[in-house]
Amino acid sequence: MMKFQTTGLLMKMHRKIKLLKILLILLILIGVQKAVYAGQQISGDDPIKIKELQIERKKKELLILQKRIAEELKKLQQIKEYIKEKLDEIKRMETDRYMQLANLYASIPPKNAGKIMEELDPKTAAKIMLYMDKKKAGIIWGFIDPKKACQITKEMVRLK
């Protein structure tokens, strides 16, 4: 007898579960129908409202793009400043290097310095001469071959 009671209870529970499933499906269908109806009211009945919503959406998209562009411009400006700083640093290092070379050549006897200058490429020689004390550079000029001195002078004019 116990067996029949358990089976009966199971059958009742099974029917209740089926009824709950049917109710749940009906509720979902009602919710979907309401959503469709609401969408039809906005989209089907009022084309002006649709355009307004589209314009608002486009405005929001444009604002987002504007913010992104502003952020990218800020990043580019930071990169530009970083590059400028590094270039300035390189120029300072180059200037220091040529000043040291100018002092070195000024300390060498002028005849020897003139011979070495003749062997250098005109651009390097010109930079060294530009950073050198004018009196010492003038003495060294006397020991440089005239053709080479002419090339160095042309480079000095271009560099200034």
Which ranges constitute the DSSP H helices of 1-160?
2-45, 47-107, 110-119, 122-131, 134-141, 146-159
- Answer whether residue 12 is part of any domain: no
Whether 47 is in a domain gets the answer yes
- Residue 11 forms part of a structural domain: no
- Assigned token pair, 138: 């003038």
> Region 17-41: what's the mean pLDDT?
67
| Unique residue bearing structure tokens 């800020």 | 74
Torsion of CA 146, 152, 153, 156, to 10 degrees: -170
Per the prediction, the chain carries an average pLDDT of: 85
Q: Which two tokens stand for residue 85?
A: 């700083």
Of 67 and 1, more confident: 67
Please indicate, yes or no, if residue 92 is contained in any of the structural domains.
yes
Q: Can you tell me the distance from the alpha carbon of 89 to that of 14, in angstroms, rounded to the nearest whole number?
A: 84
Measured in degrees and rounded to the nearest 5, phi and psi for residue 144 equal -105, 135
In a domain, 34, yes or no: no
What pLDDT band is residue 1 in, cutting at 50, 70 and 90?
A: very low
Domain that holds residue 138: 42-159
Q: Look at residue 3 in the predicted model and tell me its pLDDT.
A: 46
State how many domains the chain has.
1
Give the CATH number for residue 90. Answer: 1.10.220
What percent of the chain clears pLDDT 90, i.e. is strictly above it?
60
Question: In angstroms, what CA-CA distances link 91 with 1, 50, 85, 124?
Answer: 104, 61, 10, 15
Which pLDDT value is given to residue 108?
95
pLDDT confidence of residue 7: 57
Q: List b or e across 13-36, with b for residues whose CB sees 16 or more CB atoms inside 10 angstroms.
A: eeeeeeeeeeeeeeeeeeeeeeee
Distance CA 36, CA 30 (A): 10
Residue 105 lies in a domain: yes
